[in-house]
Amino acid sequence: MTAKPRLVISTGAGISAESGIRTFRDADGLWEEYPVMDVASADGFARNPALVHRFYNERRRALADVRPNRAHEILHELERDFDVYVITQNVDDLHERAGSTKVLHLHGELLKVRALDDENLTWAVGTDTETTPETRIDGHRVRPHIVFFQEAVPMFEPATQLAAEADIFVIIGTSLVVYPAAALLHYVRRGVPVYYIDPNPGEVPDGVTVIRKKATEGMAELAEILRHKYL
């Protein structure tokens, strides 16, 4: 038996749009009515931690009302024939809920909190968990497990490794404006086919096959292409 082709998929907010989670750049710099830098930056958190806790409590609660869509499901189904790795900028858990088994979260996870004094100490929480700046777990004050703007992206290094080992690389639903995530493409080996599904795609180098469609429709089309071309 030959090894399955390694399919590395980089996803952004657009893949969750059809599940009812709003994207960032489609909302004029507001994230659910809040200025992004108030709720998603290290400065914003230092200025008003209570607001930031409240904001992520709301985002976490909203996860209870959404479901994975067909695009998430197809990524899971592709595991039968491909060695699929998902690298997501999303903080929702829709890839996991759709069944994807190898998911790397570049920007953190809503369903985790972490110790303020130790970024490697995290705890899983439920959609109904509410935290405040005073909340303590095992004696540690906690914060949302989110990579804020102005902070390092610890999972970037392993993500570049995955990108470099891809036999096929796919980008879905990201504006490609937030770094370092947008730079992952540059780690893909020369000659490796790259596909980009987005109804309003950002700029990509020549040679990338752009599928100008929403994630559900674009993924259905791409799954057909992948099975015909690479199996």
Interface residues with ligand OAD (CB under 6 A) are: 12-14, 17-18, 23-26, 36, 40, 89, 107, 147, 173-175, 177-178, 198-200, 202, 214-215
Instruction: Name the minimum Å distance from CB 157 to ligand OAD.
Output: 17
Q: Count CB-CB contacts under 10 A for residue 164.
A: 15
Closest approach, Cβ 38 to ligand OAD, in A, equals 12
For ligand OAD, the closer CB: 59 or 76? 59
Of the two residues 40 and 142, which places its CB atom closer to ligand OAD in the complex?
40
Residue 52 vs 166, nearer CB to ligand OAD: 52
Least distance between ligand OAD and beta carbon 2 (Å): 32
Known catalytic membership, residue 107: yes
Nearer to ligand OAD, 5 or 127 (CB): 127
DSSP state letter for 189: P
Rg (CA), the chain: 18
Catalytic one of 105, 107, 145, 228: 107
CA 3: distance to chain centroid?
Answer: 27
Max CA separation in the chain (angstroms) = 57
Q: Is 210 exposed, middle or buried (0-12, 13-18, 19+ CB in 10 A)?
A: middle
Give the residue closest to ligand OAD by C-beta.
14
CA distances (Å), origin 40, targets 51, 74, 148? 11, 30, 5
Amino acid type, 180: P
Catalytic residue IDs:
107
